[in-house]
Structure 1
Amino acid sequence: MPDGAKSIAELTVKGTIVKKLPRKLEVLEGENAAFCVEVEHEDMEVHWFKDGLKLHETHHTILKSFGKTHMLVFVNVSHQDSGVVTFVAGRSTTTSRLKVKATRHCPPICPGNIKMDVDRPNSALLTWSPAPNSQTTTRSMFVVERQEVGSLEWQRCFASESATSAEVSGDSMPCEGDYRFRVCSINKYGRSGHVEFPNVVHLGKHWRRIQLMYALCKTRNQVTQGEEAHFSIELSIPMAGTWFLNSSQLQNGGRFSVRQSDARHTLVIQETRAAEDGAEITFIANGVRDSALLNVRPILDQYTLVVDRGETIVLYCELSHRFADVSWFKDGEELRAMDGLNIQSDANMRRVVIHEAEEGHSGVYTCKTAQDAIEFKVEVAVQFSPPPVMIVEPKDDIVVDSIISQDVHLQCELSRSNGRVRWSKDGHDVEEGDNIQLVAEGPYRRLTVLSCTAEDSGEYVSLSLMYLWILDVSSWIVPEVQLTHTASERLELCCEISKADATVVWYRDGLEVEETSNLVLEVDGAKRRLVIPVPTPDDTGEYVCDTEDDSVAFQVTITGRSV
């Protein structure tokens, strides 16, 4: 009515759809978006649409029906999945707007349950627990720091991704003194606060315990027959020790050189023998025992083969038994048959055939049986060097300005279509991912950033010749506002958007608002305002300024008295 009075009625048209879709569904990137509707009868012909296109079941889109219930699930959604989803059953339709939001990343939470056990000689056992609601999808690290009483400086003394305890000994301290400790969590998004362990502990190097500082190598020490094998171990204090070879005590002399320098012990076995393959080397001192295995490889027959590029390489050996198992290796890695490389077996003969030799085929090839081996050293001669690859376009560095959610294309043109280009960002190699595409089309090389974010800003370099793109992705911060206002005083709600021509819709308590004599919607460049000239307590509620990609909420409370 002209005086501002109004009456509202709700109209419900009943159709074949009993349970409709929600008006709006918001999910985070990487999650699943599920839609569910219920129709009046079973065995009805139904269809799902997204942005007007009919949907069919794929690995990303799941369509299921259970009697009267029909479901649509988008698996592992990304920003490109945002849009309008429509369900059609006969003449009835229901729609929902799907909005995929970027995942918000936060620094880790402080560890808890901090304890320090000092009831042990010259050491302290520090224990803690991860925060109960800490994120598990992002790798984080626990860092323990120490501080000498009287000093203001903290020093890192322990770090681990999984351990929740650390034993700190006096031997690891720079000097004798009273120390306190603290722990925090660190991930790629930041650092949590520090939590200090209770009490202070006295530690120092003058209390020494016998312990291994550098243990023997636990893997097999490989040497070729006739070469020297070296073993060493270092203790925390100088003390006598004994070396053993398969339980036989070793003395200094002959093929064995046994030395001690302060707390370091060394053993050198000269002219190793094939019979010593698999031998156990053991060191024993007062309360200390450690061991390692010695692997002696036999001397291999080796043949050298030099071929030109494009020629055929044939490597073969003859076995004493036609059914013997053979494995081929190149530079220590096992070979598998592939295009251009065949592995053949013919009675007692075993062959590797490479039809067109390339420079990458150079290396040491080994044919191994259970008891023997033979090596082939292959050198592929390079007949000519192609001209260097030049970047024709662009000729100068480029500055690219973009805004969040837009696609960014960086392109260069090469002087040769088969030229190789490596892309880097801020000094680090760029690899293809969910939002990075690397495309080669003839002489053109293109890097595309899909739905860019502020984190994509930086210096991009095409590394054939140095040409630089500086990408600046603009972003905006959307606050959440709580506002208490007095009745009868003019109320203005304002938000500024990144694009002046973007479409904005205002909602109050979930319902779209329309202009009246007491509610005005204003547009001023990039600013959008909702104005209530004479507010009353009935105007209290949540007002939302909504764009296609973002929204901001105002929680408004209208009081009936002056402040």
Structure 2
Amino acid sequence: MIQWRAPKDDGGTPITNYVVEKKDVKKPWEPWSVVSSSGTVTRAKVSRLEKGREYIVRVRAENKIGIGAPLESPPTIAKHMFNPPGPPGLPECSDITENAVTVSWSLPDYDGGSPISGYVVERREMTGKWIRVNKTPVLDLRYRVSGLFEGNTYEFRVFAENIAGISEPSLTSDPIKATRAITKPGPPGNLKLKDWSKSHADICWTKPTRDGGSPILGYVIEAQKSGTAQWDRINKDLVKMCAYRVPGLIEGLEYRIRIRATNKVGDSEPRELPQTILAKDILVPPEVVVDVSCRDSVTVRAGQIISLITRVKGRPDPEITWTKDARALARDKRTQMNNNYPLCELIINDAVRSDYGKYAVVAKNSSGQAQATILVNVLDTPGACQNIKVAYVTKKSCMVSWENPEDNGGTEITQYIIECRQPSQRGWTVVSNDCTKRLIKAPLTESCEYFFRVSAENKIGTGPPTETKTPVLAVDPIEKPGEPIDFHISEIGKTFCFLKWKKPDYDGGSRNLGYHIEKKPKEADEWERLHKGAIKETYFMADRCIENQIYQFRVQTKNEGGESNWVTTAEVMVKEQLVMPEIKIKLDGTLTVKAGDSIPIEATVTGKPQPDIKWTRDESTEEIKKGPRLQIESGADFSKLLITGARRTDSGKYAVTASNNAGTCSAHAKVIVLDRPGPIRDLKISGITNDRCHLAWEIPEDDGGCDIYNYIIEKCETKREVWSVHSNAVITNKAKVTRLIEGNEYMFRVRAENKMGSGPAVQSEAIVPPAPPTNLKVLDSTKSTVTLGWTKPVSDGGAPIIGYVVEMRAKGSVKKGEDGWKRCNVAAQLITCEFTVTSLDENLVYEFRVSAQNQVGMSVPCNLEGAVIPREILETPEIDLDANLKQGLTVRAGCPIRLCATIRGRPPPKVIWRRMGIDNVVRKGKVDIIDTMTFLVIPNSTRDESGKYCLTLQNPAGEKAVFVNVKVLDTPGPVMNLEATDIKQTSAMLSWSPPENNGGSDVTHYIVEKREIDRKTWATVKAEVALDKIPFKVNNLIPGTEYYFRVTAVNEYGSGVPKVTPTSYLASDPVSTYHVKITSTQTGQPQLIRDHIFFILASSHSHPVKFRIKLKILLLTIITPLEHFALALQAYLLFLECLKVEWEAEPSVFRPLFCGTSFQFGFRRQTLSLLSRLGFKLSFLLKHIVRAGPGDPESSLSYAAMGVGCRGIPMMHWVFFTHCVFVYPLIFNH
């Protein structure tokens, strides 16, 4: 909408119209378009604008004269008259699940002047793009976003929308994770006791199977002492790991342990340790095991770390001590000792050469001690050489000598480096860098001075040098020569000695050397010269000696400068000597030659007299004989074997033996001749199809002395007989041959190849039917089945066996003209060497045979020796009890009892589980039989399930039984024989016997309680009655009050089943006994007839009583000598004549009354109270029916009547009736 005011000047005539025009600013070339050209109203609506474009609007006034000048508006962008709303409030997320969340927000602060028509919700993952969630705008201020992926983290934002458009997005919500609703976690799993002592216990467990949707924050450990119901928390802070050491245990107490898992919702249900923990130390002697990496020795280089690892066991934890060369080690900057049982580690950083030696670890505890040693070698450069000397200096050379370093650096010295320099020079010149001896001849320049230095070198490096302190001048000295070297007697005979020596290292500056030789018998004082002048050689034969005479010899060197000192031998007796032969073969390791080359083996031989030489091969004792290719040459001190044109068969172990009168000596040399490999073995063809087949073979027996590189496979069509190479790069002993032509017949050959060449080829043979199977026998038999077994054929005919055919026939049922054989395995191909023939008749005799089959055809059948009758094989039952049950089974009450065993027998035996006892019956439990296992499971065990259980197997072959002792740890059962005696007005003595079942644990004490007869609650007399306090006296009774008593046994598992006295007891003092005479009022001798009713009347008279009495029980005893006598009591009446009261007692159940039986007669109503000062007469009438039993008519029936139990109410006295027996004769008729 636009509006304007009328022009100030209307041109002298009224305005008739306003012309409104518009134009796009970005399209100046387009003409103005008319919006409105009629009307005199000063406002107009500009329509057909494109949103977002910039327009200019102009208005011109018109009168009847014409159109005036235009009025243009500033450029204006086309948009709604309303603005888009402001962004909604910060979104909040609630009700989060694994795939949905509810997003809510508040109204925008500004609606843009137009009502909000809806909201648009977007989501994104943390690193993703924003995705619109709702297709249509949401009218509500909340929206349920679905389709989330569990575990992903999301953010949300919201846009408000009105007629003007969409607002800016709201602030991004806090990130949320799509997870399930958070609940408490499940209990931890697999709680185990790893270790314990008198003060702590180590437990471990696994994480809960469900965490409730929130990470597990930790675990809470609780403990309960035995005998208490309170659980105490052990850890203040949550335990993060799945293991914990429970501290603070009190020695001797028993504990129960349980744990809970905790997340941010709360604690889980507890998981309790199956067994209780008794706080006590386990004593185990120490045991030290060296780690594999340190077992033989440890070698490190200088500067590296020495790590010695051992595993130490023992209870309590042993004290660990490390020593080096018997000296204890202490911690320092380089030495660390880590004792994390069972791992104990000694770490020495920056190892130095002085750290080498013998290390020992000693583990010691109260049960003993153990020790292990480890050798440590630290490799370093060698030390400095010692005692460097320069001697025998001439104008051209000198001799430099030295001694080995004190420390070789832990490894052998490989060489020495000798250097020299003139005093005017700073640099050193290498004389030799590969000298292996400690003596070297150094070249010099005449008239020059020299310094020398020597360094030792090993595989680690070069050690520090040792220098000469003064220079050496290179001139020829005039000196005496040095002494001869290695002067010795090399051979002794009957009359001679052969002397040898070496030239001296120093000739004194003259090469013109000579030697003087002298000898002296043992008894002589003077030396005798053995030659004239001087001799030039370094050996001399001293003959003309006397046999068995002792001599000494000496030699000296002579030149122009003089004579050296004498070198003398030890005393020696001149006689024939025996020297053990010695042989050394000039060969290191194994001699390897190629086929066609020569095999030279040379040995040095010593011994006196000269030994006989013998060459042998391998383990043979026969001497190798000379031949065209074999030559043997032997001398005084050597022997040589030479084989020309070596062949593969010449490989082996050659031995040379030297023998003389002193003994025998041998030496060996191994020779390997490399040649082409031998032929392959057992070439087989299998897997033949229309265009391919498989070849397989065994490697050659002889590989030519070296590894086989590959195999060469060739093929040939039988029609063409032309061989072509299929492959020359097969590296395994099997191959697949492809691209064969269907219908063609092929031959194959294979040869092995090594670095010496290819061996002979082996050609495949024609495929024929296989040989018959072998060793056919019956493996098993029943009434309707027979199981056969056999072994594979000796030959498969050149192709793999594809199956076997089993046939049978009933003996005697073969029709004429038929062989009667019937195939058994018709359903599928039989590939195993075993088959069960079914549906047999136990009354018939059968014959069986088996044939093998390959791709060509069937083999000759292998017949079973003898006919077979199907019959059941009987096997005696056998029981293999679980190893854990052989020593018995102990469980806690409430835990299941599981007994299992492996059973065998044919036919399958009958399984009977019994609990040995009164009736030998398992009253509670479930018996299962699964395959060859039988189980007895009693879900909730009690003390009554303790005892010996018997598993019995029965079948026609026999019976077998085993026993298992089961102990259920429970509270005790009821005590036995509980009664009260010595009752007085304020006390009573209780006595009882221990419970028959103590619950698997000794009774520790008893709980005694009492209850007044008119009360329901029990009062504790004493909570802990010791075992030695029985009988127990109950005090503080109220006189005249009637009490029940009960006793409960207690063991380490709790209180047992209480036992209540069978009757109540009145707290009163005892009184004297009243005598009652019972007489029979019956006269005559009635006849007893079957089913006849008869009556017996007896009466008694008491003394006068001064107090009220109560009658409770009357006891009658029937005595008869008849063996088969029986009466049935139908009813009885009791008469109290003193009060003229007739009182009918409670009728008795019809039951047989045998001889010698006692009967108690109770009363139907409340106990009768009576008071008689003159005495009373008690009468009773028995009504009997004769029911059974032949007897002797002359025998009599005896009755004994006894009154029991009369109590005085006011005076608290008891009145007892004495026992009186009366005989009433009866005649019994049939």
With the length of structure 1 as denominator, give the TM-score of the two structures: 0.34
Compare relative contact order (CA 8 Å, sep 6+) and give the higher one, 1 or 2: 1
Structure with larger Rg: 2
